[in-house]
Amino acid sequence: MSGDRRGVLITGGSGAVGRALVRRFVADGCAVAFTWCRNRAAADELAAATGALALAADLTDRAQVAAMVAAALDRLQHVDVLVNNAGRTQVLPFPLIEEEDWDAMMAANLKSLFLVTHEVVRGMIGRKAGAIVNVGSLAGQRLLDVPVHYAAAKAAVGGFTRALARELSRYGVRVNTVVPGLLDDGVGRLVPAKEREDYVRHCAAGRAGRAEEVAEVAAFLASERASYVNGQDVFVDGGI
């Protein structure tokens, strides 16, 4: 049980950014639950190391999302912070993208975002407090050589954030997006060497980022230290 601690729900906790998010919020003294879908071994290892609650769920299935949130609430008592991190990509050139690929990409990156937020936000509205941090991608913000269906899905995250931030402002709930650039782990490992070198050459920081750096910004946006930050896309890209 979370008691007086902030309850934090993080989706996609078993990936590189997800693991960093879980560790950051646990280090901040929060009671944390996270979801996983495919990588059970990584989820079990993270739960054992941090004491966070690991919850298996297909986030594109409403019934599984409802059951997952109920289980999270049973442990946390309340969700004060929601971090929508779950998503996936698929490396395909546009002519080879089939309708099924498009639908799967929208479901993994947008439908899941909608379903989890919809299930959690009612509690925040009732308490008139809360913070939501969505994880976007530079792929949806810049002219980059990235899969079109992934870029389209991630670009939509910003619109979701701004509209929801406006609607929920009357309830004291803030909504922001953290926008990572190229990272040295996770999805970043799928980037070909040529594109990686080009990114680093044009990046003011001169390097790829780390998942922990994204987690630091997400933790800030979820905290009261960011009480005057709302409806924003906050870039963690090294300066592109």
Catalytic residues: 150
In the block, residue with structure tokens 């930050």: 229
Distance of alpha carbon 92 from alpha carbon 45, whole angstroms:
32
Residue 51 region, left (φ>0) first, then alpha (ψ -120 to 50), else beta? left
Are residues 169 and 124 in contact, defined by beta-carbon separation less than 8 angstroms? no
Q: Write out the two tokens for 156.
A: 């939509």
Q: Write out the two tokens for 138.
A: 């530079």
Q: Which residues contact 145 (CB under 8 A, 6 or more apart)?
A: 195
What are φ and ψ of residue 147, in 5° steps?
-60, 130
Nearest residue to 237 (alpha-carbon basis) of 180, 155, 176: 180
Which of helix, strand or coil describes residue 135? strand
Distance of alpha carbon 7 from alpha carbon 76, whole angstroms:
5
Nearest residue to 182 (alpha-carbon basis) of 169, 171, 197: 197
Nearest residue to 75 (alpha-carbon basis) of 104, 53, 48, 47: 53
